[in-house]
């Protein structure tokens, strides 16, 4: 059977949030039955791994990242949170956790500079370095801070998720060895900066994601986003890059396989 879902890779999902938004596991079952290739489920707080694994362990093609998003509530005790997260990883079955993240800076959550935010990221970069895992970086309205923090950990690589900057920042992250990932906002009417940044990304450093349940592509705007909607982002990217969508699916699967060392089944 060949469907539009065949061979798709979604490198950034929050699948365990979907049921709370009215989307049942049937949706994920159907996507995999239709040939969807691979989904990476992302952590946002210490201690969240066990619950996520519990609701998703039935899927062979889902792997996990562990990370702490820079929520204000975590910034007073970064050490304690990072230690708890590391325990999550150490207690998980081999090869289930394939990355650290999401972690980083969010200027909307934390408009003032906070040592706690920087420390929380550094602790997670240190875990990534020690465990030789890639990182998934969240960076909103804080490109300089992000570049400065990442450059202190040159052995660590990963992906700048839901890329929201311009080609010039993309170039800096690429030079530092990072992949760049675009989400559904690539399809938004006013996202000219993202569409032109996409053209800067070498094909072997590009990833695509939904960040579901957030950021539904414009075709589905206003709805709760699920991984199947990523097809709209693939279509938009294929059009901008002037490549065939089958080739783009192959390329993204290959890039995810390389970065996260997973079997993406494309």
Which residues are near Zn ion by CB under 5 A? 211
Residue partners of 65: CB distance under 8 A and separation at least 6: 40, 41, 42, 43, 97, 98, 99, 100, 101, 102, 136
Backbone angles phi, psi at 264, to 5 degrees: -95, 0
What CA–CA distance (Å, rounded) separates 93 from 84? Answer: 16
CA angle 98, 258, 60 (to 5 degrees): 50
Beta carbon nearer to Zn ion, 169 or 209: 209
What CA–CA distance (Å, rounded) separates 148 from 238? Answer: 32
Beta carbon nearer to Zn ion, 37 or 101: 101
Q: Which two tokens stand for residue 259?
A: 């970065």
The residue nearest Zn ion at its CB is: 211
Q: Cβ(15)–Cβ(41) under 8 Å?
A: yes
Min dist. Cβ of residue 260 to Zn ion (A):
15
Min dist. Cβ of residue 211 to Zn ion (A):
5
Beta carbon nearer to Zn ion, 86 or 211: 211
What CA–CA distance (Å, rounded) separates 248 from 64? Answer: 23
In the DSSP assignment, the letter for residue 163 is -
SS3 93: coil
Beta carbon nearer to Zn ion, 44 or 187: 44
Min dist. Cβ of residue 93 to Zn ion (A):
23
Beta carbon nearer to Zn ion, 10 or 86: 10
Beta carbon nearer to Zn ion, 139 or 187: 139
Q: Cβ(164)–Cβ(213) under 8 Å?
A: no
Min dist. Cβ of residue 2 to Zn ion (A):
30
Min dist. Cβ of residue 237 to Zn ion (A):
19
Q: Cβ(5)–Cβ(229) under 8 Å?
A: no
Min dist. Cβ of residue 210 to Zn ion (A):
9
């Amino acid at each position: 059977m060949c469907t539009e879902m065949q061979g798709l890779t979604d490198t950034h999902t929050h699948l365990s949030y979907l049921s709370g938004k009215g989307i049942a596991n049937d949706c994920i079952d159907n996507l995999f039955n239709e040939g969807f290739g691979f989904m990476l489920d992302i952590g946002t707080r210490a201690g969240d791994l066990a619950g996520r694994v519990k609701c998703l362990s039935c899927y062979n093609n889902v792997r996990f990242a562990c990370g702490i998003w820079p929520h204000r509530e975590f910034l007073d005790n970064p050490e304690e949170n990072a230690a708890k997260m590391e325990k999550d990883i150490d207690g998980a079955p081999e090869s289930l956790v394939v990355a650290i993240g999401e972690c980083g800076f969010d200027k909307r959550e934390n408009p003032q500079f906070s040592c706690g935010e920087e420390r929380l990221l550094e602790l997670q970069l240190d875990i990534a370095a020690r465990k030789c895992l890639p990182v998934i970086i969240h960076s909103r309205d804080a490109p300089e801070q992000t570049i400065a923090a990442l450059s202190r950990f040159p052995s660590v690589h990963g992906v700048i998720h839901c890329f929201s900057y311009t080609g010039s920042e993309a170039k800096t992250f690429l030079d530092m060895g990072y992949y760049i990932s675009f989400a559904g906002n690539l399809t938004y009417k006013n996202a000219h900066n993202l569409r032109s940044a996409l053209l800067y990304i070498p094909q072997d450093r590009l990833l695509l994601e939904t960040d579901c349940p957030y950021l539904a592509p414009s075709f589905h705007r206003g709805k709760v986003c699920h991984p199947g909607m990523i097809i709209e982002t693939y279509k938009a990217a294929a059009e901008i890059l002037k490549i065939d969508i089958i080739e783009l699916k192959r390329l993204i699967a290959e890039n995810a396989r390389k970065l996260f060392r997973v079997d993406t089944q494309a």
